[in-house]
Structure 1
Amino acid sequence: MFEIASLIVVNLIIAAIIGFIAGYLIGRPRTAKIDSIENPNGSSNTQDSKVKPVINPVFRKNAQVDYKPLVLSSPRLVGKDNLQKIKGIDATIENNLNNLGIYHFDQISKWSNKNCDWIEEFLHFPGCAKNNQWIEQAKILQSGKETIYSQKIENGEIAD
């Protein structure tokens, strides 16, 4: 009986050690090397060996996660909407919204004021969504109608 109990204890100790090692390997912070920055004279930067931790940008922001708007993992099968039709959204902001999981007008049209605050905090552009009335424009564009600004985008009067 003592032999069986001692074998069980030894197996538990071995399993605990393997568990700690696996937990450390899986749970340690992920890092990514920063791409080398080439100087204009053609030589590479000496900071190639520096390592920067990769952090999901959602969790770096000061805004509360509770007010994060509804996001999708990918655009719907019909394709993503041209969010640049909304005044105040340029290519950079559209890319940031897409990376966050916002692809369609109906997602923006369902935002609350707290969601707008969260997005403005996330994009580091205070007041951009509220001042440019993104929600109201998205509701119009979602219904299939056009705004004056979106018509100018379609006609090429305003560069994307």
Structure 2
Amino acid sequence: MFEVASQIVINLLIACFIGFLAGYIVAKSRSSKIKAISNEKSENFIDDPKVRTSINPIFKKGFSVDNKPLVLSFPKSTGKDNLKKIKGINSRIEAELNNLGIYHFEQIAKWSNKNCDWIEAFLDIPGSIKNNQWLDQAKILQTGNETIYSQKVVDGEIEVD
């Protein structure tokens, strides 16, 4: 009985060794194919900045996202706010803010100084947020009140492009 058990154990060890060897050979051949495909894709796909920003705009710049403000995946059911009511935000900046996930005055009103610095660097608008007092305007606009500038935008006295 001991001889039969030892033969079974020996056969299992041999089968295990052959299985590991076969798995290693298969994995090695697949990994070389995957590396070739990934190198081909990375040269044509990931290094292209247009493709990277279309995947996620965070990849637009190569800096930390530690100070990125909180964003939403989509606007609230009431719809997005007209961010152009804030002095210093034109159509281009509003579109870029929306691409980041910033749709509402409430979001802007909650920014910290580090969030402002991050947005200014990301959108390449140095000093604009602080000089135009976006946070103060957003705090007023989130309550439903209007600022002098936003009232002029609503009345059509100022066209924001």
Q: Evaluate the alpha carbon distance shift between residue 82 and residue 52 of structure 1 in structure 2; reply closer, same or farther with a 3 A threshold.
A: same
**Aligned residue in 1 for 2:52:** 55
1:15 to 10, 27, 31: 27
1:1-160 maps to which residues of 2 (within 5 A)? 1=11, 2-19=14-31, 21-22=33-34, 25=37, 28-29=41-42, 31=44, 52-53=48-49, 54-56=51-53, 57-61=57-61, 63-160=63-160
Shift of 1:8: 3.1
| CA root-mean-square deviation | 2.4
| Stretches of structure 2 lacking an aligned partner (at least 5 in a row) | 1-10
Structure 2: distance between partners of 1:15 and 1:93: 48
Q: What CA deviation, in whole Å up to 9, does each residue of 1:30-77 have, x standing for no partner?
A: 746xxxxxxxxxxxxxxxxxx934323423435532111111121122
State whether residues 87 and 132 of structure 1, in contact with CA within 8 Å, keep that contact through their aligned partners in structure 2. Answer: yes
Q: Evaluate the alpha carbon distance shift between residue 23 and residue 107 of structure 1 in structure 2; reply closer, same or farther with a 3 A threshold.
A: farther
Which segments of structure 1 move beyond 3 Å, counting only runs of 4 or more?
Answer: 19-28
| Higher Rg of the two aligned structures | 2
Q: What CA deviation, in whole Å up to 9, does each residue of 1:98-147 have, x standing for no partner?
A: 11111111110000011111111111111000000001111111111111
Q: Evaluate the alpha carbon distance shift between residue 152 and residue 58 of structure 1 in structure 2; reply closer, same or farther with a 3 A threshold.
A: same
Question: Quick one: percent identity of the two aligned structures?
Answer: 54
TM-score, normalising length: structure 1: 0.76
Q: Which of 1 and 2 has higher RCO (CA within 8 Å, sep 6+)?
A: 2
Structure 2: distance between partners of 1:23 and 1:80: 44
Structure 2: distance between partners of 1:104 and 1:63: 25
TM-score, normalising length: structure 2: 0.76
Shift of 1:13: 2.7
Q: Evaluate the alpha carbon distance shift between residue 105 and residue 61 of structure 1 in structure 2; reply closer, same or farther with a 3 A threshold.
A: same
| Stretches of structure 1 lacking an aligned partner (at least 5 in a row) | 33-50
Structure number having the greater helix percentage: 2
Letter in 2 for 1:52: D
